[in-house]
Structure 1
Amino acid sequence: MVYASFLLIALLYASVGQVGASGYIAVMALLGFAPESIKPTALVLNTLVSLLVTWRFMHVGRLNWKLLWPFAFAAVPMALLGGHLTLPMLWFDRLLGSLLLVAGIPFFLKKPNEASLKPPFNKLSPF
């Protein structure tokens, strides 16, 4: 069940250009994973999905290296720093719950308009 959840999260998030850390963390937290294992697991899953998506964009010629390199250059040390930090369990639970709630608020507040309901069609899209 855990693997199926991770696969579904990876597919859904990757289809919109994200890698799914909040989804992986939510599943692991709900299933009672230890906080010490949540961070490295989410980091590894994020890395794998982002490498796959980057490869797909490269494969179809839609990757702009001039735009990518500053983000990649900054993201690697920040990911390592975030993986190194450890919070007490109480603060971890409170922070995680708060951030997931804040991340979900826009889905309930934003009303779809007609333009957002029509999917864009692009022959060069990797998905």
Structure 2
Amino acid sequence: MRLRDEGGDRSVELRPVADDSATDRVVVDAVVEDGVRRWTLADTCLTDDEARDLAAWLAGIADDATAAADEWTALTFSSPVITLSGHRIPGGTVELRIGVLRMVAAGGGTADVVVGLRAPQAAVVAAARDLLVEVDALPS
């Protein structure tokens, strides 16, 4: 799934790429871009259920099923590598804060990256659907 800021300069991509049956975790490739900088990470940071919870959470915020407009809600996982918070803004926009720890910068070095973005509700729902398709496509 990929979420892009409505301004176009920031994006977060989280792709489940493998199922680590030994640890019952999903390997996620993460890419964060802010227009100038780019960070990447490949980590077994979610379980299969947590990846599905993430998709449901995103769709819930976009459809306003998890909270009223203006109310922030957060999602954390058993691994602290990825955290999310967000809320729906009246008028069809979702505001998200996504944190990813230990990302590798394009020029070298590591950083904990937190990016804020605003995306149309339809784009967030589409990203949630994409994530479910990607999780379902993982070999078991």
Larger strand fraction of residues: 2
| TM > 0.5 | no
**Which structure has the larger Rg over C-alpha atoms?**
1
TM range, normalised to the smaller chain?
0.3 to 0.5
TM-score (norm 2): 0.34
The structure that is helix-richer by fraction is: 1
Q: TM-score if structure 1 supplies the norm length? A: 0.37
